[in-house]
Amino acid sequence: MWKSSLDGKRLLFHLAGINNQNFIMRDEETGTWWQQVTGCGIRGPLAGRCLASIDWDEVTFALWKQEHPETQVLKPAPEFKDDYATADWEKEIAEYPTVTPGAAGDPLKPRDLIVGIVAGGAATAYPFDRIAAASPIADGVGGTPILILLHPDGRSLRCFDRRLDGEALELFLEPGSDPPRLLDGRTGSRWDFSGQAASGPLAGRRLARLPCLKDFWFDWKTYHPDTSVFTPGDEAAD
């Protein structure tokens, strides 16, 4: 998700095409083409410029509504109902062949789902099935101690910087907690799924959120060619 302004000027975007099954947007003001996954201009007067990222969340509506009970929902426009994607759109797209060539010894299949994190100039891909089997995952990316936490609903996921006051916390899942609660080994404080300490000596403190992208392997590696792939047991030391 990107800010729609650059240098204080708002840009209006429209879908211009698809590259590597990734949207290409075109702004009306300059005619520049922008890559969806990077937020950067790839052709036109603003080529090489990048839009600023803004925080986003990829969670179920049930969880979002629980955390934001006063939320409003954008209703579909009836006059454009025929233009909306069908309910099984993702299944249809998954049947298309990928255009990114597979490399010899590639550790993942093209359409394996990963969660990608970029920090400190480094990128790491975390296979989603490994996250599901071992959440939460504490690791390090580019010198940043990170935590990936998957909700018991199996779909909602958030990533955090584990540092607080410059010190990396050791966080453990409280068995049987739903929604998930984390205990930190240093103070015994309990942390909720939003990254806030709900009880204990650190009550009220909050971990910084880290942008993390749920993506297909073929797409992630195209835009992060030097990415590493997480393997359980290879967690980086704090």
pTM, to two decimals: 0.86
Query: pLDDT tens digits, the chain, 238 residues: what are they?
Result: 899 999 999 999 999 988 777 889 999 999 999 998 889 999 999 999 999 988 888 899 999 999 999 999 988 888 988 888 788 877 777 777 776 666 778 889 988 999 999 999 999 999 999 999 999 999 999 999 999 999 999 999 999 999 999 999 999 999 888 889 999 998 999 999 999 999 999 999 999 999 999 999 998 998 899 999 998 876 665 6
Sole residue written with tokens 């101690």: 145
pLDDT for residue 236? 60
What's the pLDDT score for residue 14? Answer: 92
CATH number of 59-238: 2.102.10.10
Cβ(147)–Cβ(163) below 8 Å: no
**203-208 long-range Cβ contacts below 8 angstroms, 24+ apart:** 205/164, 207/147, 207/160, 207/161, 207/162, 207/164, 207/169, 208/160, 208/161, 208/163
Nearest Cα neighbor of 111 from 130, 97, 132, 121 is 97
3-class DSSP assignment, residue 65: helix
Kindly state the helix (H) or strand (E) to which residue 42 belongs, with its residue range.
Answer: strand 41-43
CB distance 162 to 145 below 8 Å: yes
Contact between 228 and 126 under an 8 Å Cβ cutoff? The reply is no
Interatomic CA distance for residues 196 and 182, integer angstroms: 10
Per DSSP, 75 falls in state: P
Tokens of 180: 């998930």
Least Cα distance to 204 among 217, 225, 218, 187 occurs for: 187
215-237 as b/e: b if 16+ CB within 10 A: bbbbbbbbbbeebebbeeeeebe
Residues of the chain with CATH 2.102.10.10: 59-238
